[in-house]
Amino acid sequence: MSWLLGIDTSSVDLGVGLFNNTKPAASFSRYVRNSHAEHITPVVKTILESNGISPEDITHLAVTTGPGSFTGLRIGIAFAKGFCFAQNTVICPVSSLEILAYGARTHRGRIVTAIDARNDDVFWASFESDGCSVKRLGNDTVCSAEEFEDIIKQSDTIITDTMGFSRSTVFNFLDKHQSFYPVESFPLHRGFLCTLHASLLLDNKDVWKKGNEILPRYLRLSSAQYKAKKVQNA
User: How many residues bind to other proteins according to rule CB under 8 A?
Assistant: 37
Contact residue for other proteins among 25, 32, 44, 90 (CB under 8 A): 44
Distance CA 130, CA 150 (A): 24
Q: Are 109 and 154 in contact (CB under 8 A)?
A: no
Q: What residue type is assigned to position 26 of the chain?
A: A
DSSP string, 184-221: GGS---HHHHHHHHHHTTTT-GGG-B-GGG------S-
* Least Cβ distance, residue 40 to other proteins (angstroms): 7
Q: Which of residues 78-107 bind other proteins (CB under 8 A)?
A: 78-87
Selected from 30, 33, 45, 229, the binder of other proteins by CB under 8 A is 45
Residue from the set 76, 93, 103, 191 that interacts with other proteins by CB under 8 A? 76
Residues in the chain: 234
Q: How far is the CB of 77 from other proteins (least distance, A)?
A: 6
What Cα–Cα distance (Å) separates residue 57 from each residue in 76, 88, 175? 20, 12, 47
State the virtual CA torsion across 102, 107, 112, 115 in degrees, nearest 10.
Answer: -50
**Of the candidates 56, 130, 156, 184, which one interacts with other proteins according to CB under 8 A?**
56
Dihedral over Cα of 23, 26, 32, 35: its sign: negative
Smallest gap from residue 99 Cβ to other proteins (A): 20
**Segment contacting other proteins (CB under 8 A): 95-103, 115-123, 161-169, 211-219?**
211-219
CB of 176 to other proteins, least distance (A): 36
142 interacts with other proteins by CB under 8 A: no
Q: Which residues bind other proteins (CB under 8 A)?
A: 35, 37-38, 40-41, 44-45, 54-56, 58, 70-71, 74-87, 211-212, 215-216, 218, 222-225, 228
